[in-house]
Structure 1
Amino acid sequence: MSGSSPFGMRVVHLDLKGAPPKVSYLSEIFPLFHALGANALLIEYEDMFPYEGHLKLLRAKHAYSPSEIREILYLARQSELEVIPLVQTFGHMEFVLKHNTFAHLREVALFPNTLNPHEAESLVLVGSMVDQVMELHRGARWLHIGCDEVYYLGEGEASRQWLQQEHNSKAKLCLSHVRAVASHVLARHPATTPLVWDDMLRDMPEDLLEESGLPHLVEPVLWDYGADLDVHGKVLLMEKFQKCGFPRLWAASAFKGATGAHQALTPVEHHLQNHLQWLRAARAGPAGVLQGIVLTGWQRYDHFAVLCELLPVGIPSLAVCLQSLLQGGFSEEVKDRVECCLGVASLDIANFTCREGAGSFPGSDILALVTQVSLHLRSSVEALLDGNRYVTGWFSPYHRRRKVVHPVMVQHIQPEVLSLLARWGALVQELEAALKRIFYPDAVEEWLEENVHPSLQRLQGLAQDLSEAAAPPAPPASPTTRQGP
């Protein structure tokens, strides 16, 4: 460990396409980001940006207003965090192409993820998106234009016809669109440099990349979120991009949101290893070529996926990773600094389950409550339903359907059911209140419906069936006296 960071820019990614925080929460965590070693933000607005005019339909229900965007930028400046906006312009266009108004611009008619690069209207669309975002981010030194995971490129009818022509290829098709978008950015906003994810470029031949002119237009962001990142392979990739003429490159790691689409708790050790590998790659690679590193924190795998770890849940991982980058590795000094910043008595990298409380950082109450739910709610309900001998032996699904139970068994089963209901009901109520302080109602509803309601409903169903089965039988109806002759 050298004790210093090879990354001049340490950029925290805010993925707003799932559980976007209220501005009030951002005001609390930006100073923490700065204290931990961040000096920039990559803000992926997606449908949280207040698009206007014909793009207004892209807005989410709780999209930030223009004044809130300005407040976010002000808060970032106050914490010495440079803002880099991100606008998807090729792949991951679901939030745009899901709308009927823009569905005709899909590369493949059935799939809303990839833009058709052959339609002139496609470039007009992303150009308008870029311009509206840049209008509220004047002076931004960089704009990330996405361009990762452009699935099904070349499979649309127009692309198939184009690919039948001699010398055409999917790589050239991709490069052509990226070059067009980057050229628009530079023409309209000459002080801003476009960034692109590298995955669509990394396997292209060197001569093709060089001839495309793209190295003079964009800076690639090399992303890899694995704990077992191939350091030598990354060095070779950096050297390849440098040979093609890209003067500057970026790295991208992950502090959360990269270990499972339905992940609820962040495996800190995995993400720490990812960052330590990136440190090794940066030191072994060409000197001075890496501008910085983006610590991605994905909130969904794509626009239609479920939520993964909420931002407050991932903050201990972010803290460990940022401090390790800043200090050039992980050490007792890093551990002490993280514990101090987060208000954590004892940090357990291998199993961060808040043994001595979740800490005192903004949102730490959510981490503590989510940990309880994730580790114990489902297992406690399953233990009762599938492991309690009185339930399995005397109040099985057979008995429940027929509302039959031995009265003695009610005394064995009901106290535990009611105790569990009371325990989890109180905790979930506390969690819901904590979530509502930070997130908008639709995100709270989604997280609870995915992570809490299935187990809670099973428990409530058992309580209801038991109550009905234990109820005394209704007295027989008295015979009706016939009136009249």
Structure 2
Amino acid sequence: MFSLRGRTLLTLLLMTILTLLALIYHMLSTSPPISSTTHPNLHNRYPEFASLTNVPIHQKSHDSYMSLGSHQSSSSFKGHKIVHLDLKGAPPVLNYYRRLLKLFKTLGATGILLEYEDMFPYSDSLQNVSATNAYSPQDITKIQEIAFEYNLMVIPLIQTFGHLEFLLKLDSHKDLREVPRYPQVICPTNPQTLPLLYQMIDQIIHHHPNLKYLHIGADEVYHIGECSRCFEELSKRQWTKRQLFLSHIKKIVEYIKGSYPRIKVLMWDDEFRGISPSEIMETGLHKMVEPVVWKYTRNPAAALNQVWEGYSEIWKNVWVATAFKGATEPDRYWTDISHHLENHQRWLEIIDHYSDRITFKGVILTGWQRYDHFSILCELLASALPSLAVNLAVLQAKNANEFFGEIPRNVAQALQCEGTVSLTIPEPNYGWTKCRFPGVEVYSVILRLFGLHQDIQRMEEENTFKGWLKEYNIKHVFSNPSYVEQAVVELDRFKMELVYIEKEMKSAMEGIYDEHTFNEWIETFVVPLNDKVTRLWEAKEKILEKASWPRRPLKSEL
């Protein structure tokens, strides 16, 4: 009895000590950081939801960000919050826009950036530039009417230098390429270039009569001054390639400002980063455009620290571009919310640090659907709405220094979630399937596909698979039947799961995407996996049919 009581007392003593240690640790971990490299907890961004969790998503060091010192943001971003719709991939059907834009407004967006590319209904001599499933003029009008209903500003984006693949891929316009083999960049000195671009701009503006802003793209101009015509121009004028770039952009902007004085011009900033402030100011572009500074990494400051001093000399107003999807891997079909959350967190620190020198007019939350016109689909917009919701909430948070471990109540309400969803669980997250946002069915299918990928990966990591069902075994139909049976015991289930995924995605996409998007998504993400499983199933059948095997060495076909 005494020994039992002694053990009980000892246990109580140990529990008390551990509790005290936990309290001390908690007090230390929640005290103000003593170094700017400490990545603070997240939940205090939303003090009204502080009771939800005390679990931080990340604890990372950002050494490259130390130049910002310990400057901290303490208020929400007051500028525009524009949601980018990348329509060059998986364009939503018209009926989906009402549900989509209503949600954007509920989440705090103030506008949309429409990157039409070939989904715009060009006419006259440009008619064949549009995709065969492009929106109609009536569709464009309807989208704007819905946006107006929800008080969302509409900003069209038209590329005017690089990323003109949708135009330059065509036989009718291939002669306008800067480099004949590459359909990315238009030749700025070709006499047909400017009239064509002006015509495209005119048609875009004609179908958007209430425009305040027009975005002219102009990012990633990878080839410039390479064709014989441009090379001759550089030699004649004694220009650098930078000056050729500025000359072309100035002509585009002067045309817009001369023809449509009320419209303000936005453009991506990356080509400006290697040009001196004096060169930019000599062209007058500093008075005619508002740059959109973009970076989609977890730590944008690492790449942008050097630009702000120069930009503050040139521009009074700038915009920034974050990403809520489509900026991590070109073939990723699910959205890594933690990456995009950190991207927005770091951007808020940049904005707060430089706001005494530059006016940040707005944040464009980009949602890329393809990396360029030719690349495959990445994360679908419908399944990335949770990421958009979380990151719009970040921009409106009262305390921009700390993340949260679970979604705040207003996000849960906007997405019609049954309860809270943890942001500490890696994506894709089953918790989102308990919500009723317009696209949750698509998210659920993607979660199911992800689970199947994980199951197949685990099968391939088993020793029975690695040792007895490799290419050599399959090629020579030479393996141990008992190990082959063990290796692919779930192969039949995998085949059936792929059938269910295709069927469920077809149903999930109805009312959101057209049949072309469904077919492309299936061909991109389901068919290759089905081919792989089918090949393994056929190899397994051949091996199990064997009753005897040849003597070694096996015949080689090398």
Q: TM-score w.r.t. structure 2 length?
A: 0.78
Question: Aligned equivalents of 1:192 and 1:423: distance in 2?
Answer: 52
The match for 1:378 among 453, 464, 482 is: 453
Higher mean C-alpha displacement, 253-262 vs 405-414:
405-414
2:390 maps to 320
Structure 1 residues 39-92: Cα deviation after superposition (integer angstroms, max 9, x where no partner) = 100000000001111111111121111111111111111222110000001010
Which residue type is aligned with residue 368 of structure 1?
A: S
Residue 166 (structure 2) pairs with residue 95 (structure 1) = yes
CA distance in 2, matches of 1:37, 1:150: 33
Q: Which residue number in structure 1 is paired with residue 529 of structure 2?
A: 455
Partner of residue 279 from structure 1, selected from 341, 348, 371: 348
Paired residues in the alignment total 469
1:321-360 CA-to-partner distances (Å, cap 9, x unmatched) read 1111012435559623222222343323242332334221
CA distance in 2, matches of 1:289, 1:467: 67
Q: Which residue of 2 aligns with 1:15?
A: 86
The residue matched to 2:82 in structure 1 has which SS?
strand
Equivalent residues of 2:87, 2:114 under 8 A apart: yes
Q: Distance in 2 between matches of 1:184 and 1:199?
A: 22
Q: 1:465 to 1:190 in 2, by over 3 A?
A: same
Q: Distance in 2 between matches of 1:204 and 1:399?
A: 58
Return the offset for 1:447. 1.8
After superposition, the C-alpha distances for 1:87-108 in whole angstroms (9 at most, x for unaligned) are 0010101100111111111111
Cα contact 2:293–2:320 (8 A) shared by 1: yes
Given that 1:381 and 1:455 are in contact with CA atoms closer than 8 Å, whether structure 2 keeps it comes out as no
- 2:307 counterpart letter in structure 1: L
Equivalent residues of 2:422, 2:431 under 8 A apart: no
**Aligned counterparts, 1:143-222, within 5 A:** 143-165=214-236, 167-222=238-293
SS at match of 1:380: helix
User: What secondary structure does 2:307 align onto?
Assistant: helix
Deviates more, 1:456-465 or 1:178-187: 456-465
Who is 1:302 aligned against? 372
Displacement after TM superposition at 1:177 (Å): 0.6
Deviation at 1:221, TM superposition (A): 0.8
Tell me the equivalent position of 1:120: 191
Aligned partners of 1:407 and 1:470 also within 8 Å:
yes
Query: Pick from 484, 490, 496: which aligns with 1:422?
Result: 496
Structure 1 residue matching 2:250: 3-state secondary structure: helix
The aligned counterpart of 2:100 is 29
What amino acid is aligned across from residue 322 of structure 2 in structure 1? S
Q: 1:253 aligns with which of 307, 322, 325?
A: 322
**Is contact 1:250-1:292 (8 Å) kept?**
yes
The SS at the match of 1:140 is coil
Q: In 2, distance between residues paired with 1:398 and 1:90?
A: 50
SS in 2 for 1:57: helix
Q: How far apart, CA to CA, are the structure 1 residues paired with 2:495 and 2:511?
A: 24
The structural deviation recorded for 1:257 is: 1.1
1:43 equivalent among 114, 130, 136? 114
Equivalent-residue separation in structure 2 for 1:86 and 1:262 (angstroms) = 24
Contact kept? 1:43, 1:84, Cα under 8 Å = yes
For 2:508, give the aligned amino acid: A
Residue 506 of structure 2, aligned match among 426, 432, 440: 432
> 1-side partners of 2:173 and 2:303: how far apart?
43
AA paired with 2:494?
L
User: Which residue of structure 1 aligns with residue 411 of structure 2?
Assistant: 338
Q: Which residue of 2 aligns with 1:443?
A: 517
Q: Give the Cα–Cα distance (whole angstroms) in 2 for the partners of residues 154 and 232 of structure 1.
A: 26
CA distance in 2, matches of 1:103, 1:136: 27
What residue is the counterpart of 1:111 in the other structure? 182
**CA–CA separation in structure 2 for the residues paired with 1:242 and 1:390:** 59
Q: Distance in 2 between matches of 1:124 and 1:137?
A: 20
Q: Which structure 2 residue ranges, 5 or more long, are not aligned?
A: 1-44, 46-72, 548-558
1:120 alignment partner, SS class: coil
Amino acid at match of 1:273: E
1:361 is matched with 437
Kept after mapping to 2: 8 A contact 1:399/1:405: yes
Structure 1, unaligned stretches of length 5 or more? 474-485
State the one-letter code of the partner of 2:440. S
1:139 pairs with 2:210: yes
Secondary structure of 1:107's aligned partner:
strand
Residues in 2 aligned to 1:183 and 1:194: alpha-carbon distance in whole angstroms? 10
The residue aligned with 1:262 is 331
Q: Which amino acid aligns with 2:318?
A: L
Q: In 2 relative to 1, CA 237–411 (structure 1 residues): closer, same or farther, beyond 3 Å?
A: closer
Aligned residue for 1:12, secondary structure, equals strand
Compared CA separation, residues 85 and 414, structure 1 to 2 (3 A):
closer
Contact 2:215 2:267 in 1 (8 A): yes
Deviates more, 1:137-146 or 1:445-454: 445-454
| Compared CA separation, residues 206 and 465, structure 1 to 2 (3 A) | closer
CA RMSD in angstroms comes to: 2.7
Match of 1:257, as an amino acid? G
Task: Using the TM superposition, name which of 55-64 and 422-431 deviates more.
Answer: 422-431
After TM superposition, give the deviation of residue 32 of structure 1 in Å.
0.9
Partner of 1:442: helix, strand, or coil?
Answer: helix
Question: Shift of residue 378 of structure 1?
Answer: 2.9
Counterpart of 2:141 in structure 1 is 70
Q: CA deviation at 1:141?
A: 0.1
Letter in 1 for 2:168: L
Q: Which amino acid aligns with 2:411?
A: V
Over 3 Å counting, the alpha-carbon distance change for 1:3 and 1:336 in structure 2 is: farther
**Whole-Å Cα distance in 2 between the matches of residues 240 and 62 of structure 1?**
44
Q: Is the 8 A contact 2:155 2:214 kept in 1?
A: yes
Moved more, 305-314 or 8-17: 305-314
The worse-fitting range, judged by mean Cα deviation, of 361-370 and 396-405 is 396-405
Give the counterpart of 1:241 among 294, 308, 311: 311
Residue 48 of structure 1 contacts residue 64 of structure 1 at CA under 8 Å; is this kept in 2? Answer: yes
Supply the distance in 1 between the matched residues of 2:465 and 2:345 (Cα, whole angstroms).
Answer: 51
Q: Please give the per-residue CA displacement for 1:205-256, whole angstroms capped at 9, x wherever unaligned.
A: 111111101112111111111211218945x634423422x33211111111
1:383 CA displacement: 4.1
SS in 2 for 1:265: coil
Instruction: State yes or no: 1:352 paired with 2:423.
Output: no
Distance 1:468 1:116, change over 3 A: same
Deviates more, 1:315-324 or 1:399-408: 399-408
Following superposition, the deviation at residue 277 of structure 1 comes to 1.5
In 1, Cα distance between equivalents of 2:495 and 2:319: 50
TM-score, normalisation: structure 1: 0.89
Q: Distance in 1 between matches of 2:346 and 2:465?
A: 52
Do the aligned partners of 2:464 and 2:483 also contact (CA within 8 Å) in 1? no
CA distance in 2, matches of 1:105, 1:214: 25
Structure 1 contact 35–341 (Cα < 8 Å) conserved:
yes
The aligned amino acid for 1:281 is I
SS at match of 1:294: strand
